[in-house]
Chain A
């Protein structure tokens, strides 16, 4: 290996003049290979090829530059500026997970300036103070330094960049194993022979593969459990084709206090409907409600962008703004009955079912959409045969309908009578983890006479059907709680609800059989931490609303991003416009006659201090003595002491010696520091 430059400031001389500094301790070709691997995995081959060539060039090219602390500070600032601009642009234009991966993907490019600076520098190391402003100040004042080889950290950044792409396949694992293996082999303890070490590494790779397998299996299990828990928390009402009502299931309904929606009137002073619907179902079977025919039809986009007309020729009578998260940009919208138009929701596709459910795909992860609706209107298709079918516990339903006299009354009165029965003889209760019996509806109607909203909704639908009224089962949310931080209302998981829809007098109407006491009972379960957690919910909402605010198509990247890039570019130009790195003399120099430098004024200065008992100690070099004096000197002189120590050393030992201005500076500095003569 060539010469090693030891620490700055400790007075140690450079040895082995005439040899090239080895660029890095990494084995030859490893950085270049890692760069190519990164390019292939991250889809940046066109960037990776020149990068790889530059990274390996120092092994073949003898040209070097004398880069000092200030030079590396500039390069570090350039890397920071590039990284900052890339991070801001990524985060402003992409969703958060993708933005983070993009930052890792392009990260190695932003670090190239400083790693190339190290590889082409004479010293072959970078001072850590280049990366931290506080350390720069300390390094300047105290002259200490801590140098490191950036080769290995840069290799790690290349691996992370490669990991950011191509999620399928195991070629990444193979490449990563080889590259990391070679890097670790180069720093292995010498007592391990290559063959033995390679066997150990193979075992390590196999263990790693086992860990990956365990992660994947465990992830599926955990994800399934989390999904069940998540669905149970917000209520089992997200799938328009299937909505288990939890009757007979164990411990599914755990209402969440988290804010699920925010709703406000579109116009100041407007009103907000009490019910927002997600979906409706018509088939009851095996304790589950399902949609008999899953026929989502596409809705064509309208003008302006993000507008979808669900019904034709409907003037807007009322409108609300609903703020809702849409994981991965898809999901059902919560809308009031009578919705005829959705606005402010740009998406790839928009669909509507015959039950009025609206489903979006390829939309933003968070949306504030406008739902224009006609109060007292409805947007479902008319009743069909399925809306009168009874199933499951048909006998008991018919018997109860008979008992309550529902079959003898006209539809409207039958509904009223049913509601009166529920109100007078039934109670609301929170569902607990208990096994419902084989015949839950019979138990509910005859014995228990208490249950949660799905019992009431299910039995209401079936009783109305028994009375000859077409009915459907609907799910959604109740909007009642005022928002403490914003204008409008908040809707929590706890406000999820189920009710019945009945076709009466030519239109669909809502029939809510759940006793009114359900609202205060559910709200009484609120956690004591809720006010504090609401603040975080609100902050998250505010951030999401700003992050996903609508951007018109033809604008593209926001203007402020361009301004930021221009400012960063200006700063970089100002930092580098007068940068002229000094070329190192790398020609082989053998046995060049060294100048003695014994005329240095520092020798006279030291003699003067020695007379006063404060000269150089026997084991101390003049450079170290100057540093010691600097430590005891006032701050104004401390820098001068270090400077003349460094100048003397170069004058004494550097074959190139000092330039004229430096020689003068040495003499003047020593003169200035001469001790005052004190008369005894």
Chain B
């Protein structure tokens, strides 16, 4: 039954979307008028509705013929920013050069690739994410479909193109509101123009491929007091991002027993006649870890998206010139992305978060090992978890046992979990109330 629902919705909505592009609001009204007049006019001896049907059929024929008269020749380009944010409108400029006849009453609209939900996702959303308002919507699964589409579809708005003579260059302003993070592929510009009777639109697709990286949605984060001081970071900032020693040169001194032979400065020895070693500065600064839980089943994709949003919110607010932030997560393997103090910017970290996926073939032990490798240098750790089971408790406890202060945020459904049993350092963020939870 679900397969039938899915196919019906997929085909029906595709047809409806095509009609919606073609027909103006007046066109929809005339379509309804035409169908009703046709039904009423089946028996011409009973009423004159068949005459209305004839007139409206003539209207449709003229409207259909007029579609072919719109053949613009346009050179179109966009001026897009590099990044956008999920849920935030992205405004940009169109630049249009008219190489054809005079251009009037033309509207441009971006064409984005429509992500149709997969059948598996549609089934998984059953009883879980459903925006049905009526029994009919629930029966046909339209509420689920709408919830899935709303999470992934980018909303585009049309841009009115000013009147342009042949050869003129004009500008228009477009707006897209991406719904989710990731790479937003723009296929081209759809130039539309309403026909003479105001019922149908001519559509011409102008290929202008482009792409924008959509950063995750961020929430305002309240003050997060992380106890703990700066810790000794062997190798300093440089070593924080590289393998091997590369400390900052401080000066020369006499060799003392125990100094590593590789630090002997041979030129100075030759000059002075006694062993001289190079001395380096080691630094102390704040270093936090931001641990993202990617071990989420496919059916809880929205939990994972919120976890990424929360991680992004922290990444944006915690990064300063004075501290380092290590983002730790596991996809196909363990990853660590470091930013701060000139090593990287919050934008770069957000770029990474824009593309992070769920982990499907590893377990939490991989993440635990990655965290354990860094516990000696961490000032504090923030965990963004999607559940608080034994494995995750153990992960948090492993850091607390070595004295690393932690703050844990567990994202869950309303009513799920028992915060009283979790401890004071664990905060519950309910789906639908994330902002409130983070702000408090």
Contact = CB atoms under 8 A, between A and B. Distances in A.
Interface string A602-635: 0000000100111000000000000000001110
Contact of A184 (B51, B197, B435): B197
B399 interface: no
A134 B435 contact: no
A210 interface: yes
Interface string B48-68: 111111111111011000000
Which of A41, A170, A207 gathers most chain B CB within 10 Å? A207
A191 B198 contact: no
B194 A207 contact: no
Contacts of B225: 680
Contacts of B81: none
Interface stretch (A112-120, A161-169, A248-256, A655-663): A161-169
A532 interface: no
Contacts of B40: 100-101, 104, 160, 163-164
A34 to B, nearest CB: 13
A275 to B, nearest CB: 35
Interface string B221-242: 1110100000000000000000
A189 B196 contact: yes
Interface stretch (A66-74, A198-206, A424-432, A493-501): A198-206
Interface residue range, chain A:
35 or more
A137 B59 CA distance: 38
Contact of B197 (A135, A172, A188): A188
Given A188-B196, A189-B105, A613-B220, A173 B43 contact: no
B252 interface: no
A636 interface: no
Contact of A101 (B46, B51, B105, B199): B46
Contacts of B223: 613, 680
B104 interface: yes
Nearest to A105: B47
B50 A197 contact: no
A159 B44 contact: no
B61 A613 contact: no
Interface stretch (B26-34, B175-183, B280-288, B376-384): B26-34
Contacts of B61: 207, 211
Interface string A162-192: 1111110010110011001000100111111
Contacts of B198: 184, 187-189
B55 A632 contact: no
Interface in A197-244: 197, 200, 203-212, 215-216, 219
Which of A173, A180, A208, A219 counts the most B-chain CB atoms under 10 A from its CB? A208
A675 interface: yes
Nearest to B39: A100
B48 A163 contact: yes
Interface in A643-680: 675-676, 678, 680
Contacts of B45: 167
A137 B434 CA distance: 25
A341 B36 CA distance: 45
B55 A205 contact: yes
A176 B44 contact: no
A205 B58 contact: yes
B439 A614 contact: yes
Contacts of A215: 41, 44, 50, 53-54
Nearest to A170: B51
Contacts of A219: 44
A208 B59 contact: yes
Contact of A212 (B33, B47, B51, B194): B51
B433 interface: yes
Contacts of A188: 196-198
B425 interface: no
A134 B142 CA distance: 14
Contacts of A208: 54-59
Contacts of B51: 163, 170, 172-173, 176, 212
A541 interface: no
A216 B53 CA distance: 12
B432 A184 contact: no
A174 B318 CA distance: 74
A197 B197 CA distance: 8
A215 to B, nearest CB: 6
Given A189-B196, A205-B58, A156 B432 contact: no
A204 B65 CA distance: 11
A8 to B, nearest CB: 19
Nearest to B105: A189
A138 interface: yes
Nearest to B50: A215
B52 A176 contact: yes
Contact of A612 (B193, B195, B439): B439
Contacts of B59: 180, 184, 204, 208
Interface in A295-353: none
* Main secondary structure on A side of the interface with B: helix
B48 A166 contact: yes
B37 interface: yes
B322 interface: no
Nearest to A188: B198
B54 to A, nearest CB: 4
Contacts of B199: 184
Contact of B49 (A153, A160, A180): A160
A152 interface: yes
Contact of B134 (A134, A189, A633): A134
A97 interface: yes
B363 interface: no
- Most A-side CB within 10 Å, residue of B52, B223, B432, B434: B52
B196 A167 contact: no
Contact of B54 (A100, A209, A613, A632): A209
B195 to A, nearest CB: 8
Given A208-B56, A212-B54, A191 B105 contact: yes
B115 interface: no
A680 to B, nearest CB: 6
A170 B52 CA distance: 11
A176 B52 CA distance: 7
A211 B57 CA distance: 7
A290 to B, nearest CB: 29
Contacts of B440: 612, 675-676, 678
A101 B439 contact: no
A177 B59 CA distance: 10
Contacts of A156: 29, 32-33
Contact of A152 (B29, B220, B433, B439): B29
A678 B48 CA distance: 74
A203 B436 contact: no
B62 A160 contact: no
Contacts of A170: 51
Contact of B196 (A177, A197, A609): A197
B222 A163 contact: no
B62 A138 contact: no
B43 A97 contact: yes
B133 interface: yes
B133 A138 contact: yes
Contacts of A633: 433, 436
B26 A184 contact: yes
Nearest to A160: B36
Contacts of B436: 614, 632-633
Interface in A536-577: none
Nearest to A189: B105
Given A173-B54, A614-B222, A167 B48 contact: yes
Given A165-B47, A633-B433, 20 more contacts: A100-B40, A135-B133, A152-B26, A153-B29, A159-B33, A160-B37, A160-B40, A163-B47, A165-B48, A166-B48, A167-B44, A167-B47, A189-B104, A208-B56, A208-B59, A212-B54, A215-B50, A215-B53, A215-B54, A675-B439
6 contacts: A163-B48, A180-B56, A205-B58, A208-B56, A219-B44, A613-B221
> Which 5 pairs of residues, A with B, have the shortest CB-CB distance?
A208-B58, A614-B439, A212-B54, A207-B58, A208-B55
